[in-house]
Amino acid sequence: MMNAFYAIGYMILAPFLGGLIAGIDRKITARMQGRVGPPILQPFYDVLKLFEKEKVVVTRSQNYYVLCYVVFMVFTGALFFSGGDILLVVFALTLSHIFLILGAYASNSPYSYIGAERELLQVMAFEPMIVIATIGMYMVTKLAIPKGSFYVSDIASLTIPLILYLPGIFLGLIYVITIKLRKSPFDLSTSHHAHQEIVKGVTTEFSGSTLGRIEVAHWYETVLLLAFVYLFFSFNPLMGVIAVLLVYLLEIFIDNNYPRVKWQMLLKSSWLVALILGMANIALLYYVRGV
């Protein structure tokens, strides 16, 4: 019953929390750049304005793909907060982005096409580390559950500090989360800032309410990604909240201090981090703890 309550709570509250995080992000970014910045509620004003605008569609299939993107993003978070299989969460998250990529390809715009290709590269860069993270979490659950478990509810209920067993995986996850948050230096496919050289990349040909839905889906995803961070400190809820705040502040700092890299560097660095931090952490856990 409680798991269903958490899932419903995510579906209702995540857009508001995600929009608030986006507003705070803008305000802190502005302060770091010596500007006053927009109001914290500005992201909500922007999305409401998008829903009021006329929706211009290049091809009807775009609407279908964006709808699937939003639905699967909401489903992914609901599955996570209901305590479901974390492997299924990862697969559903990937599938949601595939629909966004297909929507960008459907427009036949050169800017959108380049953005879609870069979005696909970012998915490829993110996947190895997140899969390694789920394997690491499964291995730690074997210390408390004989057969181990991939269920989020079992991972979150662990009384042993996950961060102590998976420090390398935690650092690697922070590295690749930058990709999903669309922060520099990994904002290759699209950006929330004006410095993007391919206009709006993957979202170039989306407008009006369709673009608004994509932004809301990103808010859902932001909350989901921060929930992944919280899992490492779930043994102490207060420490978990503090860790989430510090990690997001770190992401804002990185976003404002590092230039965007090329896609080759994105893939190489992400896979290298997954190999060194992720696999080394799993190997150490296997040989030292015998998990």
Residue 281 has what pLDDT? 93
Residue 107 has what pLDDT? 80
Residue 201 has what pLDDT? 75
Lookup: tokens for 231: 């899992």
Lookup: tokens for 181: 């948050």
Average pLDDT along the chain, 291 residues, taken 10 residues at a time: 85 95 93 88 92 78 90 96 94 94 85 87 93 93 87 91 94 93 84 58 83 93 96 94 96 88 89 91 81 58
Q: How far apart are CA 194 and CA 88, in angstroms?
A: 35
Question: Residue 263 in contact with residue 116, Cβ under 8 Å?
Answer: no
Residue 214 has what pLDDT? 92
Residue 79 has what pLDDT? 95
Residue 33 has what pLDDT? 84
Question: Residue 123 in contact with residue 189, Cβ under 8 Å?
Answer: no
Residue 258 has what pLDDT? 85
Residue 240 has what pLDDT? 94
Angle between helices 237-257 and 2-32 (to 10 degrees): 40
Residue 291 has what pLDDT? 58
Residue type, 17: L
Q: What is the DSSP string of 195-241?
A: T-TTTTGGGTT--HHHHHHHHHHHHHHHHHHHHHHHHTTTTSHHHHH
Lookup: tokens for 134: 């789920």
